[in-house]
Amino acid sequence: MSLPVITVEQMRRWEAATWETGKTEAEVIAQVGRIVARRALELTQPGDTILLIAGKGHNGEDVRAMTNHLPERDVSLLSIADPAKTLPNLATSLEPRPALVVDGLFGIGLNRVLDADWMQVISQLNANRLRVLSLDVPSGVDAATGVIQGAAIRAEETLTLGAPKTGLLHSAAVDYVGRLTVAPEIGLVPRTATSELQLGQAEDFIGFPPPRPAGGHKSTFGHVGIMAGSLGYHGAAVLAARGATRAQPGLVTLLTPEEVFVPVASQMQSVMVQPLVPGEITIKSITTLLVGPGMASDRLPDDLKTTADSMWHESSVPMVVDASAHDWLTAGAVPEKSIRVITPHPGEAARLLGTTPAEVQADRVETLQALSAKFGNCHVVLKGRHTLIGQTDGTVYVNATGNPALAQGGSGDLLAGYLAGLLAQPLLQDNAGLAIRFAVWQHGAAADALSASSSNWTIEDLANWIGGKQL
């Protein structure tokens, strides 16, 4: 299940409660050593060289505890107590170039700027562009705040212990944390710490979506209406429609401006494509409406924006608003119990709130809640590294899947379509929040699966993978 994102103070209390039961730190360190070694084996091949870098604290002890659990690997251990003495020989320690470095220099207790010698050690490690697995927190990152304490290890992956720490999800730490994974069972007593910020896990979606009823028909699985595309942006309409079909709703109808109707319709098979005619921008019998992908042209029908905004505030039909259409919405209430979703990236979120992308990134949870409150307590998918999903109040979920290769044009259009395809299905609308989280998870998981097998995949490839069995 999803894991609470906890503070360093909560982690300390959790550890103290464990020691009070009589369990020793040595027992937990031994278990952590086995866990991290298992991950190091997964990231390497027999015969590979693994360099363990250990500092003076508990993180260093955790790394040293790995040494007897790395069979068929060429393992070397570099313990650093005095960085000034280590610096002259550090380059030698990196030859031959290791397949993996395990970073255990500093842990969650670091809350001060490192001295110059430590910063030089970290800079030299980073300069070699090594493949790094950081233990609990990348050395140099403040686990409480995400602040970089002068210098920090740039990890490919951070395996954090027990539960994710608040600083690891701060935008300042993103480029250092890399992929964030969690080892929840490290030998501590059952966790009692709670948080309204939760890191999603694959187990959250066991049994979801539920099996489709054997007697179901097209009407059982809903009808997605999509308004998308414009001159110069017709591909967005195609990707949104393909994303919707991957969610397997009963029907998909796409309205797109007449000037791009032919190139859009010629790429569709099961999707019904109609020209978007001024004054006639409605779709009958739909169970969800998606508006916005690729609608960036200034030649769109004049009444499209006002119609979309009116539907947002008045219609009982679930709505997903994406891309340029975010700017068409006015603040205020929406119908009670209606499903409303917006999917901004940081730049769009900044425009909607009259702020800057930097301010959005400084407190993404606060931004999400402010957006939700402004637009009728709608669901918000605040995109970016560790996409957030939530509303004005209650739990905000952090998505754990995805990678930098998603930063390609069309990625958001595909996600919006897939999300709308799920929300169109009456069987899934009773748990809209879970359906939204599932869409985001699958979008990132498909990207991760593609990246594991290819370094040059495209969004068209992602359109063929999204919704598959990635869990």
Confidence band, pLDDT 50/70/90 cuts, at residue 280: confident
Q: Say which CATH number the domain at 164 has.
A: 3.40.50.10260
| Secondary element (H or E) of residue 288 | strand 288-291
Query: What is the token pair recorded at 237?
Result: 């309409």
470 inside domain = no
Q: Which domain holds residue 341?
A: 218-465
Same domain as 235, residue 177: no
Helix, strand, coil percentages, rounded to 5, for the chain: 40, 15, 40
Same domain as 184, residue 148: yes
Q: Which residue has the tokens 């425009």?
A: 351
Query: What is the token pair recorded at 42?
Result: 């997964």
Same domain as 122, residue 43: yes
The three-state secondary structure class of 53 is: strand
Q: Read off φ and ψ for residue 326, nearest 5 degrees.
A: -55, -40
Average pLDDT for 242-256: 97
Q: What DSSP line would sit under 395-446, residue for residue?
A: -EEEP----GGG-STTHHHHHHHHHHHHHT-HHHHTTHHHHHHHHHHHHHHH
**pLDDT given at position 89:** 84
Strands (E), 155-263: 157-161, 179-183, 197-199, 223-227, 251-257
Same domain as 344, residue 309: yes
**pLDDT given at position 299:** 86
* The pLDDT of residue 11 is above 60: yes
Cα angle 251, 274, 290 (rounded to 5 degrees) comes to: 55
Same domain as 18, residue 69: yes
Q: Say which CATH number the domain at 425 has.
A: 3.40.1190.20
* The pLDDT of residue 327 is above 60: yes
201 to 184, 397, 442: CA distances (angstroms): 11, 10, 12
Same domain as 293, residue 190: no
Average pLDDT for 65-85: 96
Percentage of residues of the chain with pLDDT beyond 90: 93
280 inside domain = yes
Same domain as 388, residue 429: yes
Same domain as 417, residue 348: yes
119 inside domain = yes
Per residue in 366-413, pLDDT tens?
999 999 999 999 999 999 999 999 999 999 999 999 999 999 999 999
Cα angle 393, 386, 340 (rounded to 5 degrees) comes to: 45
Query: What is the token pair recorded at 271?
Result: 């999707």
Burial of 166 (C-beta count, 10 Å sphere; 0-12/13-18/19+): buried
Q: How many domains does the chain have?
A: 2
Average pLDDT for 122-126: 96
437 inside domain = yes
Same domain as 26, residue 161: yes
Confidence band, pLDDT 50/70/90 cuts, at residue 470: low
* The pLDDT of residue 198 is above 60: yes
Whole-model pTM: value is 0.95
Same domain as 324, residue 451: yes
**pLDDT given at position 283:** 82
Same domain as 117, residue 223: no
* The pLDDT of residue 279 is above 80: no
**pLDDT given at position 447:** 97
